Structure 1
Amino acid sequence: MWELYVEGNPYRRGLITGSLTEELFHNQEAIFVSKIDKFVPSKTKQALLRRFLAWYNRKLYLNVPLEYKTEILGLSKYASPDYNYIAEPYLRVLYFHGAHDIGHALQDLALVGCSSFAAWDDKTEDGSLIIGRNLDFYAGDDFAQEKIVSFTNPTEGYKFMSVTWAGMLGVLSGMNEHGLTVTINAGKSKIPLVAKTPISILNREILQYATTIEEAIAIAKKRQVFVSESILVGSAADRKAILIEVSPHNFGVYDVENSNQLICSNHFQSDAYTNDKNNLKHIEESHSQYRYERMEELLDQNPKLTPKIAIDILRNKEGLNDKAIGYGNEKALNQLLAHHAVVFKPEQRLVWVSSNPYQLGEFVAYDLNDIFKNPTKKSLANTELNIEEDPFQYTEAYKNYQAYRQLRQEVLSNIETKNDIDLETLSRLENLNPDYWEAYYLVGKYYYNKGYYTAALNTFEIAKTKEITTVPDEEQVDTYIKN
């Protein structure tokens, strides 16, 4: 992992960040744009998309604080000239900060099935607050390759750390010098009519300017967002965690009563959303409630949380009651696609960040008290506190899962182009990830399209015996069986 330390006023911070990360920045931008090219291969449609984004983002600049626009301007001086056809550098980098929100809003992407939890007092071994989170934002393995653990000492506000990538000044997971933490989990969104404040920018503002839960809520209330998100705020000063639940037309705060444990997946829990149709539908049809119950189950099995136990929970690949549900299933806490996982101990200002791949690598420890006192050390990590890697990455099952992902892409591509697939390949797809419903579904779909209805029916019926991810997925399998 890369470590970055930056200090100074907003423009200077942007310039320094751009200068130090230029090569990584160009690399991330290339990966990101190639994703757009893959989703929208037509040059005509790309031109329409650019015009749409320019229109959609027309008021974005009004909703981003001047400080962050200035920092983005400094950073944009180091953006690649290769993509000026999309937009000039400053606007392009500004747009990229809203890319998560735009993708989430327009496609309701299932790229963001994040899981997080917090425990304190009698629920942890030493009574200290502990927070764990998986960021299941997936923009490809290459995108997640070059993670940055960033430390910022701004001229205004508080010093803070965040886990990020080159070109991103917003915050998805972070902690400040006062032991205030923020992490985000996507909720169910309606498609908004115009871009407002990107959630990563709101998160950044909370981290930089709040020391308590009350201050965090006040900052969140000031901003208008354009997607629905749960912001899990942990506070050393308050010695607990809460959820701030924001959406374009609603705002709620969820504070657990009579409990020292908070669980968050991808649905809202505060009174403000009790009758929200989108949220109720999401609980009923998605994998959010299932992961919520799995976190509950694992926390019940480990009544005294430690950072190591929190990491074991984040790495868990099984379903409820330890059922084998196939690797990569979105009902698992560890879907083997996370950009990063992180564990915070806010009162001690300690944070553990996962190294590649996913949450399986060593969790590297950072002590914020020590780093902000002595930021010029060669390495900022406190390696004595590191938590060992997950041996699963060296197993046959992991190798098979990686092979499954590759073969899955080939099979999907052949189904789309109506090419023939030999029986050996189809059988291999099932055998590489035998507990996963999707393998059988894809094979069944291929048979169905070819008119091999008996074979298709048998395979769809096997898929039905597995843990299918969502209600719409299950309905699709049922429709094929009925047909």
Structure 2
Amino acid sequence: MRLKELFVCLIICSVSVFADEVLYKAYGDFLNPQTEEFTRRIDYEFKANDREFDKSGRLTYLSKGDSSFTLSFSLGLLKIHVTRDKGRLQLYTPHNKTLFMSSSSESGFSLASVMTCLEGMDPKLSDDIKTLLSFEKLQNNCDVIVRKNGPIYYIYAKGVMVAEIKLKGSTLDKAKIFFQTGILNLKFSNSKRAYLVYRNSQAKTVVKPSEMDMNRSLTRSLARYIEIRHHEILQPEIKEDVKEGKHGTLRRYKGFNFVYLKGSPYEIGWQHGDFLAAESRRVIDSTLYLMGMVYTIKTGNWFMDKIREAQVRLDKYTPKEYLEELKGLAEGSKIPYEEVHLANYFPALFHCSGFTVKDEKTVDGTLYHGRVLDYMCRIGLQYNNAIFTVEKVDSLAFVNVGFAGFIGSVSGMNEEKISLGEMGGRGEGLWDGVPMPILMRMTLEKAHSLEEAKTIFSTNERTCEYYYIFADGKDKSSTAVYAKPESIEFLDPGKSHEKLPYKVPKCLMIASGSRYESLHNKVKEYELIDDQKAIDLMNAPTASLTNNLHSVLFVPEKMKLWISYAGIYHGAYDEEFIELKLSELLKKDFYLKSN
């Protein structure tokens, strides 16, 4: 290297080192002020690259020391304001002007409690966040280079610019963090005047949850939200492996968790929990806490009180064997029984579609039963999917397309070629009956024929309004079901009903609004439907464009099914469908064979 080039290189390196020191000091001074009577403020604004699937959000964090802070968050119509100060924790929801208020100990909801929760959920994620909070660690661990141009510093990782930070004098001013999904804009400010913002005077209603409920709901919902977004941004590689247990086998393959369980109710619950402890924890946090918090914010009702009320009433109608299975699941996963129990009674708010086609509409007259589950993909249930094949003592073997931590069914097929799919209706609060997912599970375990499936649903007490499609591959029969607590109706293919504006001979179709019209038009369009065309019937707009959580095509006469779960940015209809056979899922070789 020539002398001039060497000199230039040394100058650049020295400027980079100097830039690092100035930046580190400004960052350190902001994170660790000399006194707690020093208020720090961070304004976050996230602008998504893809407006179709995400909305811009804003968050303001104002802190006085580590344990006193206010946090304001808005995303579309979802707005909250949280204040923690002087041993009190307050959650204000502007939508319904409700103030939720409880005491809060030192170990209660705080940045430290969220980090501890993340560490327990995902140590790798916790390390990633700690690295992001330390420029030194970021530089050492991620091959980071800092470049300076006036007051602006550019941060490069592996040759790609990941951040742009601006100083005002010797303090932090603004920053931009670049993700695949969008840009996070930050604005920093501080003041020696310590103050926090309250919203008490604006509240029309005051609710006082227990300290444990308040702290746990806020901590776990926020930690789970961070975990889901981390997964979507970094898209971690999913390892494929096999685990053998005393009461079953687990195979992780192509992003699916295939779980074989055999034994008594407690034994299959315990093995389920042992195999999928981490996945069950995430699903429970998504439903019980993250969605529970959304429910609380939207309605002004404390979700944990509502779900406990439902649990007391539903337990009266739930057969003891399923409560034993929940006990096994809790002990196998080491998740508190109450959380497992309540999460399994999470109200089904699905808006789904379903159909059967057969005879002259299909190749060889094959009976196809399609089932589309539409629910919020952004809470990450699809990343914790589980395809259970269960052989319970004194019960029929069945496959249940579901999620870790849930023992009930919304999509399944048994060894007697009976397939079931559920679609949500109305009537939340009508809980004096067998929980819908348990009633579905009971039917899979006991029904040898379509008539027996009808009998099980007719003779048991039912909860809210639901719609179903049942199919029997032995005689290619099927029926649509309209069930309410006080009544039940069965509708055979080709028959008309006031709730269904169109009818197609030898077909059953259930969907809402434009989805029904889309499904109807597609069925009429095809002359002969085969496997792939039947899968295409479940495409958007029959399925939700953004919230198609999973789709299943049952071919019960062949004991075959096609399954797809949603991806990170696409509904299940736009992801790979995998073909399975119940006869193979019941064999140990399926779980042990090489990936």
TM-score range for the pair, normalised by the shorter chain length: 0.5 to 0.7
Q: Equivalent residue for 1:221?
A: 458
Identity of aligned residues (%): 22
Q: Distance in 1 between matches of 2:530 and 2:274?
A: 39
* Residue in structure 2 matched with residue 100 of structure 1 by the alignment: 347
Q: Is the 8 A contact 2:389 2:398 kept in 1?
A: yes
Question: Which residues of 2 match residues 186-197 of structure 1 at below 5 A?
Answer: 186-187=424-425, 189-197=426-434
Q: Equivalent residue for 2:554?
A: 344
Change in 2 beyond 3 A, CA 1:30/1:190: closer
Match of 2:506 among 253, 260, 268: 260
Q: Is 1:230 aligned to 2:467, yes or no?
A: yes
The answer to whether the 8 A contact 1:182-1:232 is kept is yes
In 1: Cα distance, 2:415 partner to 2:294 partner: 41
Post-superposition offset of 1:23: 1.2
Q: Distance in 1 between matches of 2:590 and 2:421?
A: 27
- Higher RCO structure, 1 or 2 (CA under 8 Å, sep 6+): 1
What is the Cα deviation at residue 80 of structure 1?
5.7
SS of residue in 2 equivalent to 1:311:
helix
Q: Distance in 2 between matches of 1:363 and 1:193?
A: 36
2:559 is the alignment partner of 1:335: no
Question: SS at 2:376's partner residue?
Answer: coil
Seen in structure 2, the aligned counterparts of structure 1 residues 341 and 191 have a Cα distance that, compared at 3 Å, is closer
The answer to whether structure 1 residue 375 and structure 2 residue 588 are counterparts is yes
Cα deviation for residue 301 of structure 1 reads 0.6
Tell whether the 8 Å contact from 2:347 to 2:428 is kept in structure 1 after alignment. Answer: no
DSSP-derived class of the 1:140 partner:
helix
Q: Out of 316, 319, 324, which is 1:70 matched to?
A: 324
Q: 1:380 to 1:116 in 2, by over 3 A?
A: farther
Q: In the alignment, what sits opposite 2:526?
A: 302
Give the equivalent residue in structure 1 for 2:397.
159
From 257, 276, 296, give the equivalent of 1:40. 296
Any conservation in 2 of the 1:175–1:181 contact (CA below 8 Å)? yes
**Closer/same/farther in 2, CA of residues 379 and 253 from structure 1, 3 Å limit:** farther
**Cα offset, 1:57, TM superposition:** 2.8
CA contact (8 A) 2:390 2:397 kept: yes
Cα distance in 1 between the residues matched to 2:381 and 2:306: 25
User: Matched residue of 2:554: which SS?
Assistant: strand
Measure, in 2, the Cα distance between the counterparts of 1:362 and 1:50. Answer: 37
1:195 Cα deviation from its structure 2 partner = 4.4
Offset, 1:379: 6.1
| 1:233–1:340 distance in 2 versus 1, CA, 3 Å | same
Shift of 1:362: 1.1
The residue aligned with 1:273 is none
The separation in 1 between residues aligned to 2:337 and 2:384, in whole angstroms, is 23
- The 5 Å alignment of 1:102-121 reads 104=349, 112-121=350-359
TM-aligned CA distance change 1:333 to 1:31, over 3 Å: closer
8 A contact 1:355–1:364 mirrored in 2 = no
Do the aligned partners of 2:269 and 2:332 also contact (CA within 8 Å) in 1?
no
Give me the whole-angstrom Cα distance separating, in 1, the residues matched to 2:312 and 2:488.
Answer: 24
Picking from 555, 578, 587, the partner of 1:364 is: 578
- Tell me: CA distance 1:380–1:146, structure 2 relative to 1, closer, same or farther (3 Å): farther
Task: Evaluate the alpha carbon distance shift between residue 246 and residue 64 of structure 1 in structure 2; reply closer, same or farther with a 3 A threshold.
Answer: same
Q: Aligned partners of 1:368, 1:56: CA distance in 2, in Å?
A: 34
Single out whichever of 250-259 and 208-217 deviates more from structure 2: 250-259
1:178 to 2:416 alignment: yes
When residues 147 and 4 of structure 1 are mapped into structure 2, their CA distance, relative to the original with a 3 A threshold, is same
The aligned residue for residue 535 of structure 2 is 311
Which digits, 9 at most, give the CA deviation of each residue in 1:37-68, with x for residues without a partner?
A: 344369xx77x443343334322111111221
**2-structure distance, mates of 1:194, 1:356:** 30
Structure-1 separation of matches of 2:297 and 2:440: 33
Contact preservation (8 Å) 1:336, 1:359: no
Q: Which amino acid aligns with 2:482?
A: E
Instruction: State the match for 2:307 in structure 1.
Output: 53
Contact kept, 8 Å, 2:292 with 2:303, in 1: the verdict is no
Q: Residues 262, 93 of structure 1: CA spacing in aligned structure 2 closer, same or farther, 3 A cutoff?
A: same
The 1:380/1:122 distance shift into structure 2, 3 A limit, reads farther
Structure 1 pair 194–355 and aligned structure 2 pair: CA distance change class (3 A): closer
* Deviation readout 1:122-174 (Å, 9 max, x if unpaired): 11112111111210022525222221111111111110001111111101111
Separation (CA, whole Å) in 2 of partners of 1:53 and 1:363: 34
Deviation at 1:27, TM superposition (A): 1.6
In 2: Cα distance, 1:18 partner to 1:2 partner: 13
1:263 Cα shift?
A: 0.7
Q: Is the 8 A contact 2:307 2:345 kept in 1?
A: no
SS in structure 2 at match of 1:6: strand
**Aligned-partner Cα distance in 2 for 1:71–1:64:** 12
Contact conserved, 2:411 with 2:421, CA < 8 A, in 1? yes
Select the residue among 136, 139, 161 that pairs with 2:374.
136
Matches of 2:479 and 2:365 in 1, distance apart? 17
Work out the CA distance in 2 between the residues paired with 1:380 and 1:172. 28
Deviations 1:226-264 (A, max 9, x none): 211112101012312101221122211111247311111
The separation in 1 between residues aligned to 2:337 and 2:378, in whole angstroms, is: 25
Higher helix share: 1
Per-residue deviation, 1:193 = 4.9
* CA-CA distance at 1:380 after TM superposition: 8.0
Number of aligned residue pairs: 325
Q: Is the 8 A contact 1:12 1:74 kept in 2?
A: yes
Deviations along 1:354-409, one digit per CA (max 9) or x if unpaired, are 1442221111111112332x23433689x9xxxxxxxxxxxxxxxxxxxxxxxxxx
CA distance in 2, matches of 1:137, 1:9: 31
Using structure 1 for the length normalisation, give the TM-score.
0.63
Amino acid of the structure 1 residue aligned with 2:583:
N
Residues 50 and 334 (structure 1), Cα distance of their counterparts in 2 relative to 1, 3 Å cut: closer
Q: Which residue of 2 aligns with 1:397?
A: none
Aligned residue number for residue 270 of structure 2:
15
Q: Match of 2:591, SS?
A: coil
Mapped contact 2:317–2:461 kept (Cα < 8 A): yes
Letter of the 2:330 partner, please give it.
S
Alignment CA distance shift 1:229-1:342 (3 Å): same
| CA–CA separation in structure 2 for the residues paired with 1:264 and 1:375 | 36
SS class of match (1:63)? coil
Tell me, in whole angstroms, the C-alpha distance in 1 between the residues paired with 2:591 and 2:411.
24
Distance 2:411 2:592 in 1: 21
- Largest Rg, 1 or 2: 2
Shift of 1:208: 0.9
Amino acid in the other structure paired with 1:264: I
Name 1:6's counterpart in structure 2: 261
The runs of 5 or more residues in structure 2 that have no matched partner are 1-255, 496-504
Q: Which position in structure 1 is the counterpart of 2:251?
A: none
Greater fraction of residues in strand = 2
How far is 1:119 from its partner?
A: 0.8
Deviation at 1:210, TM superposition (A): 0.3
Structure 2 letter corresponding to 1:165: F
